[in-house]
Structure 1
Amino acid sequence: MEKEVQEYLDRVHDSDFAMLSEVDRICKKHGIQYFLHGGTFLGAVRHQDFIPWDDDVDILFLRKDYEKFLEVFESEADKRFKLLRFEKYPQFFDFITKIADQDLTYEGTSFGAEDFYENRYSHPTLDLFVFDIEAGHHKWQLTRMKFLYALAMGHRPYIDYSKFDGAMKTVAKVLAGIGRVIPFKVIARQYIKLQTLGGLAEVHGEKKTLFISNEQPDPRYWGLDFGPEHLIDGPDTGIIRGKEFPIPKLHDKWLTKTYGNFMALPPEDKRVPMHVNIIK
């Protein structure tokens, strides 16, 4: 890895660790359960640290803990960490609430359009994913959520239609065009209703299937679900920078379902930051 890139990642990982440690402190103070998720979870198991080329943090809450965390975060957290609730803004980035470390600012990101988003995402971020209970007719629930995602894309500065094939490209253009005339906050409210369609019951003692309800419609993650056995009776622990953080139980099973052979490193040309290009 080039020296300049490594120096950048070192600074980003310092920021990531500061955000994660602050979240951990607040959650412990208020009895809120969370779990490492995504690349952060994988890093804690495979590297016992952040993945060397990763540049953000992912965590996961059950819905009730997510709502409690939103209630207390802004009054508790260091003011350098800004809470970005997706439903509070007129532009669409994704359906993920984030925390941004305002002490570090990027000159450019991989997605561009910093001005469009008023530079909210020009910082290292920690993503808050949510576990909800699947509703009956879950495939129909997911279809409606994907429909709303397509409408929401009308509130992006531009759309990469090369990701769509054949008729789906036309459908995406039509739905984004319709979505453009619907205020994003209206779309966001409907999306949240669909996330919670399965109810807010406790997981303990119930055979409920959980799904991560605010993932992007990526083939690897969209619709991915898990049984409650991963979360019941408290978490296991993973290590980042010598500090223990909570991870789901049966982590081998979870990570295999998500990544396949999760202990294998990706090809060298894929070991690059996903979100940011240059730092100042």
Structure 2
Amino acid sequence: MITALKEMQDIQLKTALEVKRICEKYNISYFLVGGTLLGAVRHEGFIPWDDDLDIGMLRKDYERFIEVAPMELSSKYFLQTWFTDKSFGLPFAKIRVNETKFIEQNSANVRCHNGIFIDIFPFDNVPNELSLQKKHNQRLFIFKRLILLKNGYSLWNSGGLLKKIIYKTVKIGLFFIPLPFLKRNLTKEMIKYNHIETEKVAALGSPFGYFQEQTNKEWVGEQINLIFEGTRFSCPTGYENYLNSHYGDYMTLPPVENRVSGHGVLKVEIKSSTG
């Protein structure tokens, strides 16, 4: 299992190097986020048990990347958004590696590209007022869940029978709501506050919580280079504040029993020619 994880991390690293190349060519700002940023700071590479790689971009840079990436990526890769893959239900991008498989529990029945991937998250403004944040969070949560249900994602794997009944009932009602309508409204809600100055931004498409994902704009607005697996990658200048906010005492390793992936992986396949 350790060998397979290392092989997968090597593939993800090569994919991230492609993103880095494209961003540098087109002067697009990007930064490592989440566990990938934590890995860069604490391990100078992947967290040893981590099976994903996360990159963030402010919305304008994200849109530019989505525009140019199809022209730059080789046939080895697939830029997955809900425009390039109609069954994909997430409001951010993944770069998938063709001829591989990485099947997660909640998307096992979704007929979309399911290769090994890295995530690319757009960061959008969140309002300063707590009351507006609560309303924003509620609307985002509803639209994200409806889109996932409409696309066949399983949202009841954790939870009791009542949760399963509620989601399946809602799914029946979704038959009458067009998917493009839901996507337009979610996107509109995500970029709702980008026209005004706010203190914080967040990866609003992330599966983690609205408030957990918030970060001060000044922490990620400028970047520095940190070593990740032997290569310098762009990271937020405020990485210490970011990591303290997200993880607390981030330099202390978690207990051994918590050193596991959180993806609920069912199957991984890597062809010998991939790499």
TM-score (ref. length: structure 2): 0.85
**1:178 positional shift:** 2.6
Deviation track 1:55-86 (CA, whole Å, cap 9, x = no partner) reads: 22110000000000011001012221110012
Report the identity percentage: 29
Aligned to 1:96: 92
Aligned pairs for 1:1-280 within 5 A: 5-103=1-99, 105-106=100-101, 109-111=103-105, 114=108, 116-118=110-112, 120-121=113-114, 123-135=115-127, 137-157=132-152, 159-161=154-156, 163-164=158-159, 172-200=167-195, 206-216=197-207, 218-219=208-209, 222=211, 224-232=213-221, 234-275=222-263, 276=265, 277-280=267-270
> Which whole-Å CA distance do the structure 1 matches of 2:268 and 2:61 have between them?
35
1:113–1:66 Cα change, 3 Å: closer
Unaligned stretches of 5+ in structure 2? 271-275
**1:243 positional shift:** 0.8
Unaligned stretches of 5+ in structure 1? none
Amino acid at match of 2:269: I
1:267–1:189 Cα change, 3 Å: same
Q: Is the 8 A contact 1:151 1:177 kept in 2?
A: no
Q: Secondary structure at the match of 1:266?
A: coil
Q: Is the 8 A contact 1:53 1:271 kept in 2?
A: yes
1:175–1:55 Cα change, 3 Å: same
Q: Secondary structure at the match of 1:55?
A: coil
Amino acid at match of 2:5: L
> Which whole-Å CA distance do the structure 2 matches of 1:207 and 1:95 have between them?
22
1:160–1:147 Cα change, 3 Å: closer
